[in-house]
Amino acid sequence: MATLADIAKQAGVSSATVSRVLNADPTLSVSTTTRAKILQVASDLNYTKTKHTAKVARIALVQWYTKDRELTDLYYLAIRMAIEQAAQQVEFELVQTFAGDISDLGNIDGLIAIGKFSADQQRQFAALTAHVVIVDMATAIIAADTVVPDFKGAMQQVAEAFKAADLTEIGILSGSEETSDGKDQLADVRLPLFLAAMADAKLPAPRQFQGNFTAESGRKATEVAIQLGVMPKALFVTSDAMAIGALQALQAASVTVPDQVKVVSFDDTSITRHVYPTLSAIHVDTEQMGFWAVQLMKSQLATPNRPALQMIVSTRLERRQSF
């Protein structure tokens, strides 16, 4: 019976590369020619995988929000649901927990964390398992894979769209928050990237408004801007929840959208299509984020001690009634 070593010898590659090709590892960087050669050699040698009963991996799914808060921010709900769907396809057993609570997970093979986590929380993850994937957090202090939207590309798309529309009175409503354990304050990563994108597009620096990623904070920040007479002609809001609040404040003040103020949001959850006017938004493919979180976990379990990877998921601007 042919072995991986036999295939590797004839194909001129390592046994590890053969294994990853035959297991369709999505993180493997190998040329199409090499991949085809490995598959052809395997076929010529009549290679057959040894059948065995695979152990079902027990994976913790840690949501940084509480269940109630998740319902007010559909972005993180959508990511969790996408991970659940992708996990079913690879037969992971998911152990779910909310608000970053990992006190009662039992024995796990890996951990997928959704959201933002303090240094202490990340160290606790690493103490539980060597296999960690963090979704929607660009940097990790531990050796974890990460899955994030293309924040930089998204900010460039918004700035260029405003420029193409000859808009110069522009504002950004960004958010700040803290980790679920209250130990780290989190600045909005979109704010500096948007400022840079505006400068690159040779547009004036935007007016800056602050919320906390809730609809109420978006409404209050917009009300203050209207009362002070500093409401811009175009407003970029860094979450759908805050954008909904901004729309409410604008409508209450009889400020028409998009005639008087154009609004663009970020996330593009289902709610953007069920408000009036419908919201233009940067679309983040939460389904792909969930898929790649599971694929990266699968890769970690199959290839222990490989370097940590980051998957950047592309974004696009969806134009609707608000812009």
Q: What is the mean pLDDT of each run of 10 residues along the chain (323 residues)?
A: 84 83 75 83 80 74 92 90 93 92 92 96 95 92 95 98 98 95 94 98 98 96 97 98 97 98 97 96 97 97 93 97 98
Does residue 132 belong to any structural domain of this protein? yes
Tokens found for residue 228: 């002070």
Does residue 223 belong to any structural domain of this protein? yes
Q: What angle do CA 306, 62, 178 make, to 5 degrees?
A: 105
End-to-end alpha carbon distance in the chain: 64
pLDDT for position 50: 60
**244 and 261 part of one domain:** yes
pLDDT for position 72: 82
Q: What is the CA radius of gyration of the chain?
A: 23
From residue 259, give the alpha-carbon distance in Å to each of 40, 54, 189, 206, 220.
61, 60, 29, 19, 21
Backbone phi, psi, residue 248, to 5°: -60, -45
Is residue 119 a contact partner of residue 141, using CB atoms and an 8 Å limit? Answer: yes
**279 and 201 part of one domain:** yes
**292 and 145 part of one domain:** yes
From residue 40, give the alpha-carbon distance in Å to each of 4, 17, 46.
13, 14, 10
**155 and 280 part of one domain:** yes
The 3-class SS string of 236-284 reads EECCHHHHHHHHHHHHHCCCCCCCCCEEEEEECCHHHHCCCCCCEEEEE
Among 235, 163, 151, CA closest to 202: 163
**209 and 272 part of one domain:** yes
pLDDT for position 15: 78
**276 and 156 part of one domain:** yes
How do strand 262-267 and strand 234-237 relate by DSSP bridges? parallel
Contacts of 180 (CB under 8 A, 6+ apart): 64, 65, 99, 100, 115, 117, 121
User: Residue 170's domain is classified under what CATH number?
Assistant: 3.40.50.2300
**269 and 162 part of one domain:** yes
From residue 98, give the alpha-carbon distance in Å to each of 86, 95, 182, 315.
19, 10, 15, 27
Q: Domain tally for the chain?
A: 3
**21 and 70 part of one domain:** no
> Which run of H or E residues covers position 132?
strand 132-135
85: three-class secondary structure by DSSP: helix
Q: Where are the alpha helices (DSSP H) in the chain?
A: 4-11, 15-22, 32-44, 67-72, 74-89, 119-128, 151-164, 190-200, 215-227, 240-252, 286-302
Q: Containing domain of residue 270, as a range?
A: 151-284
Does residue 49 belong to any structural domain of this protein? no
pLDDT for position 27: 67
Is residue 288 a contact partner of residue 83, using CB atoms and an 8 Å limit? Answer: no
pTM for this prediction:
0.80
pLDDT for position 313: 97
Does residue 321 belong to any structural domain of this protein? no
Helices 15-22 and 32-44 cross at an angle (nearest 10°) of: 90
**23 and 134 part of one domain:** no
d(CA 3, CA 19): 10
**113 and 188 part of one domain:** no
**188 and 266 part of one domain:** yes
d(CA 195, CA 201): 10
